[in-house]
Amino acid sequence: MKHGLLLLGWLFAAWPASAQSYAVETIPMPEGLTAETGAIEFMPDGRLIACFTRGEVMIYAPRTKKWQLFAEGLHDPLGMLVISNREVLVMQRPELTRLKDTDDDGMADVYEKVTDGFGLSGNYHEFNYGPVKDKQGNLYIALNASSPNGAMRPEVRGVIKKEGRDSTDGRKQMFAAVPYRGWIMKLTPAGKLVPYAMGFRSPNGIGFDLAGNLFATDNQGDWIGTSPLLHVQEGRFYGHPASLVWKKGWTKGSPFVLPPATLDSMRTKPVVLFPHGIMANSPTQPLCDITRGKFGPFAGQLLIGEMNQARIVRVMLEEVGGALQGACIPFLDGQGLRKGNNRLAFAPDGSLYVGQNSHGWLGDEGIQRIVYTGKPPLDIYKMQITPKGFDLVFTQPVDVASARNPASYSMRQYNYNYHKKYGSHQMNLDSVAIRQVLVSPDHKRVSIVLQQMKAGYVYELKLKNIQTTAGQPLQNNLICYTANRLPGETAPVLKRPAFAKKDIEEGKLLITKSDCRTCHRPNEKLVGPSYADIARKYQPTEANVNQIAQKIIKGGSGVWGQIPMAPHANIPLADTRKIARYILSL
């Protein structure tokens, strides 16, 4: 500790504390409140609404610093979505509930069930999270698996499937004996609750990025070697076997007895691994920085709460081989943030509110606020994989002498086992020699060339002595990149979630009647790429459907080579969309 203090003292001497880029302040909480914060959100009028373990929902006016009660009596609420200044949806243990103040007295008088279409065994670990809303108006909620350390109640809600619980070898695992434990569910605007994605253990936090990708975190435990960030896509399986029994058409009995290799081949791997004991032990809500710079230089990136350490983790993602992957880096270490960082929300002024909770594990209570002071930090803006190593892009130009010195960097690689045991050690741990370091002419990009690089590893980079020419030190000296794929590799082809069957069939019919066949075939490259190749390159999203639909109408060249594609202005947009849906469904 002494060394740490000395070093810190030296840094402050060179770069004063008044130059901090972020300031952490603590929000005064009402007297008598056990401030285990289950959720925080902002209302359209700029007030903060928060819910707490003992069932209170309270509203805080940042201007007056006054709290008022909005609703009470909820069962362990852990998620919230604001509808208006008088109405919120709250995810509590038994259901998703609409709270509404209809008589305008400031207190909710309507507690209406929005959905309870999932099972409850009464096990303490059946925490529920969300909802978050997509651009089409669907809501997503996440349901924990149940814990072998707790029991099932004599009366449960939902049918029981015994094979959703425990394996035959006596080793207890998280279970899903009632419907949809371990799932993320989609609630359509029409009110239908649909199973969406499975294989979760304890997905304490879901959220969207700006592009509409849905993410969830999960917690280290059985089948989860280290806590991950998952890119949630319809119909996919994310690793914890219990929930598989609730997959439509599941006929394989107890999923716990399937060989790990079989389960591994079924799962979609995390986009980012948070190395346990290093980066995060219990990550929570992913929140996209939507502040367009009000919160500093990381607009569009994800911030993720961490329970066990006084830290928020920042995540930067990129598409490699058709799938997202990326790096995680500490954020706000040693600046007065407490532990138990369970929920995050941006205020209209671009400051970040953090709700804290321990809930019987590790953490503090209360709410803190983080304000960007406007003094730019020196930090790693992003880390990108290259064919030979990694590029680091810094928020400011760096001092060249230290930045191009290979001794300023040390790299290790390791991965984690996928097995039923609780957690995993770092496997295949090795240091990686750095062959060369190059600095860009603007001094903001550093290219690190490694002796060797393999897919399927976490690359953990430690930096030292990196600073600006003015002597401002690098804020965070540790960053971990999860290299599921190397550039140039294509993503494993997975069965894609289909668009509406009717659209796909009509699209297929339209394509056979068009002149598309002159240049394209479903599975072979003619003049243009095969439909399957297009489907491999573009994720089946509505955004990509629109992009391809426009491409069909306008034509163009460059993406697949220099031979131009003819424009098809005669095909109506609605039809090109159907064609695009058919192509992307392949």
Partner 1 sequence: MKKLLLLFSIFSACICRAQDTPLVIHMKVLQGLQFDVVRFQVKPGAKVKIIFSNTDDMNHNLLIVKPGTREAVVNLAQELGAQGPSVDYIPASANVLWSLPVVEPEQEKTLEFTAPLQEGIYPYVCTYPGHGLIMYGAMYVKQDAHLPDITDDGNIPPGRRQSDVSLEEDETHHASHHGHGTRALHPYTPVPPYHYRVFIAGASPAAIAVSLPDSLSYCWDAGECKLRFAWKGGFLDNSDLWKGKGDALAKVQGAVFFNGASAYPFTFKGVAPVASYKGYRLVARYPEFHYTVNGAHVYELIKPAAGGNGIVRHFRVTGHTKDVVFYAPPQEGLRYESSAGKWEEDKLLLTALQAREFSITITVL
Using CB under 8 A as the criterion, which residues of the chain lie in contact with partner 1 when the complex forms? 1, 4, 30-34, 53-56, 58, 67, 69, 72-76, 92-95, 97-98, 108-113, 116, 120-122, 124-125, 147, 149-150, 153, 155-157, 171-172, 221, 275-278, 281, 308-309, 339, 358-362, 412, 421-423, 425-426, 429, 460, 462, 478
Give the residue with the Cβ less far from partner 1, 66 or 502.
Answer: 66
- Of the pair 447, 476, the CB lying nearest partner 1 is at 476
* Minimum distance, C-beta of residue 94 to partner 1, in the bound complex (Å): 4
Q: Across the strands, what pairs with 197?
A: 184
Torsion sign, CA atoms 480, 485, 488, 491: negative
List strand residue ranges (DSSP E) for 236-322, in order: 272-273, 283-288, 302-306, 312-320
Q: Using alpha carbons only, what angle is made at residue 119 by residues 305 and 281, rounded to the nearest 5 degrees?
A: 20
**Cβ proximity to partner 1, 54 vs 521, nearer residue:** 54
Under DSSP, the state recorded for 318 is: E
How far apart CA 185 and CA 195 sit, in angstroms, is 5
CB of 503: closest distance to partner 1 in angstroms?
Answer: 33
Q: Which is nearer to partner 1, 117 or 296 (CB)?
A: 117
DSSP annotation of 458 reads E
Q: How far is the CB of 73 from partner 1 (least distance, A)?
A: 4
96 or 584: CB nearest partner 1 = 96
Considering beta carbons, is residue 418 or 560 the nearer one to partner 1?
418
Spatial CB neighbours of 112, under 8 Å, sequence gap ≥ 6: 97, 98, 100
Q: In whole angstroms, what is the distance from residue 22 CA to residue 393 CA?
A: 20
User: Smallest distance from the beta carbon of 263 to partner 1, in angstroms?
Assistant: 20
CA distance 477 to 466: 9
Residue in 331, 339, 389 with CA at minimum distance from that of residue 362: 339
* Distances in whole angstroms, Cα of residue 578 to Cα of each of 505, 529, 566, 574: 8, 18, 19, 7
Q: Identify which of residues 121 and 467 has a Cβ nearer to partner 1 in the complex.
A: 121
Residues 6+ apart with CB under 8 A from 126: 93, 120, 143, 144, 146, 181
The nearest distance, CB 439 to partner 1, in angstroms, is 25
Shortest spacing between CB 586 and partner 1, in angstroms: 41
Which of 281, 482 has the CB closer to partner 1?
281
